[in-house]
Chains A and B, each alone.
Chain A
Amino acid sequence: MPAAAAKPADTQTAVLRFDRVSVSFDDTPALADVSFQAYEGESRVIMGATGSGKTVLLKTALGLQRPDSGTVYVFGRDISRMQERELFEIRSKMGMLFQESALFDSLNIEDNVSYPLLNQSSIHCPPDEVLPRVEEALKFVELDGILEKFPSELSGGMRRRAAIARAVVTEPPLLLYDSPTAGLDPITANTIVALIVKERDLNKTTTLIVTYRYQDGNLVANFRYNPENGGLERTGNHTGSQQGSQGVAAPRTVFMVLREGRLIFEGPQTELEASQDPYISKFVKHRE
Chain B
Amino acid sequence: MLDFLKEPFIAIQEFYLLTGRALRNVAARPHYGDDIVAQMDLIGVGSLPIVILTGLFAGAVMALQMSRALQQYGQVDQTGTLVSISLVRELGPVLTALMMAGRNSSGIASELGSMKVTEQIDAMRALGTDPIQKLVTPRMVATAVMLPLLTILADFIGMFGGWFVSRFFLDLPSQQYWSSVWRQLEWNDITQGLLKPFVFAFIISLVGCYYGLRASGGTQGVGRATTQSMVAASVLILILDFFLGKIFVSQVVS
Chain B residues, Cβ within 8 Å of A119: 127-129
Q: CA A212 – CA B129 in complex, angstroms?
A: 30
Distance in Å: Cβ of B142 to nearest Cβ of chain A: 15
Near A by CB (< 8 A), chain B positions 103-128 give 115, 118-120, 122-128
Structural contact, B120 and A91, CB atoms closer than 8 A: no
Distance in Å: Cβ of A83 to nearest Cβ of chain B: 11
- Chain A residue at smallest Cβ distance from B129: A119
Distance in Å: Cβ of B39 to nearest Cβ of chain A: 12
Is the CB of B130 closer than 8 A to any CB of chain A?
Answer: yes
Structural contact, B122 and A88, CB atoms closer than 8 A: no
Chain A residues, Cβ within 8 Å of B120: 102-105
- Chain B residue at smallest Cβ distance from A94: B126
Q: CA A237 – CA B118 in complex, angstroms?
A: 37
- Chain B residue at smallest Cβ distance from A59: B122
Chain B residues, Cβ within 8 Å of A103: 120, 123
Structural contact, B123 and A98, CB atoms closer than 8 A: yes
> How many CB-defined contacts (below 8 Å) exist between A and B?
51
Chain B residues, Cβ within 8 Å of A84: 125, 130
Q: CA A64 – CA B119 in complex, angstroms?
A: 11
B interface residue count range (under 10 / 10 to 19 / 20 to 34 / 35 or more): 10 to 19
Q: CA A202 – CA B120 in complex, angstroms?
A: 28
Structural contact, A91 and B118, CB atoms closer than 8 A: no
In the complex, which of the residues B115, B125, B128, B130 has the most CB atoms of chain A within 10 Å of its own CB atom?
Answer: B128
Structural contact, A120 and B127, CB atoms closer than 8 A: yes
Structural contact, A116 and B122, CB atoms closer than 8 A: no
Near A by CB (< 8 A), chain B positions 76-124 give 115, 118-120, 122-124
Chain A residues, Cβ within 8 Å of B128: 88, 91-92, 116, 119-123
Question: Which listed residue, B115, B118, B129, touches A100 by the CB 8 Å rule?
Answer: B118
Footprint of B on A, CB under 8 Å? 59, 62, 64, 84-85, 88, 91-92, 94, 96, 98-100, 102-105, 115-116, 119-123, 166
What are 10 A-B interface contacts by the 8 Å CB criterion? A64-B125, A64-B126, A88-B128, A96-B123, A102-B119, A102-B122, A102-B123, A104-B115, A121-B30, A166-B127
